[in-house]
Amino acid sequence: MKHFKVWYTSVLILLLVVLAACSESSSQDINTESEGAENINPDKQVEAPFEGWVEGLPQITAPEGFEWKQFEGVELNFISENTPPSSAIAANIEQFEDVTGIKVNIEQTDLATVVEKASLDFNAKSAKYHLIYADPYQILAKQSQHFVDLNQFIEEPTMPGLPGGLEDFSQSQLEAAGYMGDKEALYALPYDNPTMVLAYRTDVFEKYKDQFEEEMGYDWTPDEDMTWEQYYEIAKWITEKAEEGVITEVNYGTGHQAKQHDSLMNDFSNILASNGGDYFEKDDLGSVGSTEPGKSAMDSDVAIESAEFYNKLLKVADPGSTSWDWSGLAEGFAAGNIAMIPEWHEFSSMFEDESSSNVAGNVAWTTLPTGNERKAHMYGGTGIGINKYASEEEIKASWLFVLWSTSPQAQYMILKSDQGGSTPTRNSVYELEEVQNGMEPGTPESEEMPNLLAMKPTLKAWEEEHAYMRPKIPQWPQVDTFIFTELSKMLAGQQDPEETVNKIAEQTNQLTDR
């Protein structure tokens, strides 16, 4: 009898395990076929009835016989950080709703709230939010198992395909925003792409160019050849001359987003990566990511040197820097107090808006300075993905929204929108003559699309050898907090640079059990 009970218990446990596995598997398996699939001709593509297509861009198409309003009446909820793309999409959502009959509610809030609400929704498996702004580092790295594999739709012949294909996205951005751990499943498509480059005041640099060159012996105009050491020298010179009353246009040579916040990690990372450093010894954590990051690299000589330089640089910066995130820094620069700043490129339109900026018409952009090893530009882009706990009908309807919102024509619309003004994630948009002209200062196109003024250096920053993607690991939110907390103590004079990076390394290794 005792043996029977053991056997019975073992069988029961085995059945429960099998049932659980089947349940988990079934949540991943989606019938991606269109309604009326038997009447659809995948061999013939028909142009979609969306407004706004521009000649030269890949078109949204569907196989002959596809009914765009087959999900009419479905209501979708999209949670997003309050970013320019989502503002533009929300302002123009009728373009999608009129064609599909799908209602889309867009909730915009700060990123921390998006992370919290998405996590609660995933844990409850309630699919309150069908569409997620899938920040690669704070959401996707920890929650990828809760997203639909979009390859299922890209490869489905009875549903609309991806206009331009995956190759129309920057491949480094696609890897960072879309994958986790490997490239077998694609969880999100690139939706926005803020990247840090250098903004500077042309009026200041032109007026005092000869004086600086006479004293310091080189042309100080910010360009691709500038080094971080030169950046420091220039910033220090401007700050000192402003204190003496020689320079009157600005008060400080540089400003930074050095608040005890994620922004501080971003600002410091440009210098760390340019010197050949990173947060972990393991390579390629910033692309597809990993669940096993290994040992911290923050106790290295490169990390110490980078922290020492950053500490030195902030001593000649606008003192408001230690209270600013990226928005505070942008406002300080727009007020006219600072000569140059490392900043996210999508603030270009703000700087050119005379209603909110005192520097309109006097701003130029270039790549960030070169460190000991290379140039490095922090990438801050995010993808849009689908909650796998939604119903099959909601998931299919969500795919149509993902398809449209990341399409070349929607990205072009976002670029030109008064409510958004974000820069496209699609390569094909940058090939348009109108967009090329918009990258040149003083053209009618640049006045209409001012974010394009930062795009020449940004396109350079997106090149693989110049881009920097922070580690995409499940533990990143905690590691990020270690970094900006300890760096903030350093900037406040509470600890020296070596102690700072060693504390970051020690806490990181404890977290990852290394």
Report pLDDT digits (tens) over 26-76.
Answer: 345 789 999 999 999 999 999 999 988 999 999 999 999 999 999 999 999
* Token digits of residue 140: 């996707």
Q: Which residues contact 514 (CB under 8 A, 6 or more apart)?
A: 294, 295, 296, 508
In this structure, the number of other CB atoms found within 10 A of the CB of residue 45 comes to 16
Give 196-243 as a 3 state SS string: EEEEEEHHHHHHCHHHHHHHHCCCCCCCCCCEHHHHHHHHHHHHHHHH
Confidence at residue 30, expressed as pLDDT on a 0 to 100 scale: 86
pTM of the predicted structure, to 2 decimals = 0.90
- State which H helix or E strand residue 451 sits in: none
At residue 417, what are phi and psi to the nearest 5 degrees? Answer: -70, 135
Confidence at residue 422, expressed as pLDDT on a 0 to 100 scale: 83
Contact 346, 451 (CB under 8 A): yes
* Token digits of residue 236: 């220090």
* Token digits of residue 135: 């920040």
Query: Helix 301-314 vs helix 476-491: angle between axes, to the nearest 10 degrees?
Result: 50
Q: How far apart are CA 38 and CA 66, in angstroms?
A: 10
- State which H helix or E strand residue 351 sits in: helix 348-351
Q: How far apart are CA 326 and CA 259, in angstroms?
A: 9
Q: Which residues contact 355 (CB under 8 A, 6 or more apart)?
A: none
- Scanning 34-105, the segments in alpha helix (DSSP H) are 84-91, 94-100
Q: How far apart are CA 279 and CA 293, in angstroms?
A: 10
Q: How far apart are CA 205 and CA 268, in angstroms?
A: 25
Q: How far apart are CA 267 and CA 152, in angstroms?
A: 38
**How do strand 377-378 and strand 467-468 relate by DSSP bridges?**
parallel
- Supply the DSSP symbol for 147: B
Nearest of 359, 391, 460 to residue 74 by alpha carbon: 391
Contact 384, 189 (CB under 8 A): yes
Could you report how far apart the first and last alpha carbons of the chain are, in Å?
48
Contact 139, 191 (CB under 8 A): no
Low-confidence stretches of the chain (pLDDT < 50) are 1-27
Q: How far apart are CA 380 and CA 194, in angstroms?
A: 5
Q: How far apart are CA 127 and CA 492, in angstroms?
A: 44
* Token digits of residue 506: 């020690």
Q: 363 in helix, strand or coil? A: strand
Contact 77, 103 (CB under 8 A): no
Query: Residues 89-117, buried b or exposed e (16+ Cβ, 10 A)?
Result: bbebbebbeebbebebebbbeebeebbeb
**How do strand 103-109 and strand 131-134 relate by DSSP bridges?**
unpaired
In the block, tokens 């509610």 appear at: 105
* Token digits of residue 143: 């929650």
Contact 470, 176 (CB under 8 A): no
Confidence at residue 4, expressed as pLDDT on a 0 to 100 scale: 39
Contact 512, 506 (CB under 8 A): no
Q: How far apart are CA 295 and CA 17, in angstroms?
A: 34
Residue type for 216, please?
Answer: M
* Token digits of residue 197: 């480059």
* Token digits of residue 107: 């909730």
Query: Residues 171-180, buried b or exposed e (16+ Cβ, 10 A)?
Result: ebbbbbbbbb
In this structure, the number of other CB atoms found within 10 A of the CB of residue 364 comes to 18
Q: How far apart are CA 405 and CA 99, in angstroms?
A: 13
Q: How far apart are CA 369 and CA 491, in angstroms?
A: 21
In this structure, the number of other CB atoms found within 10 A of the CB of residue 126 comes to 12
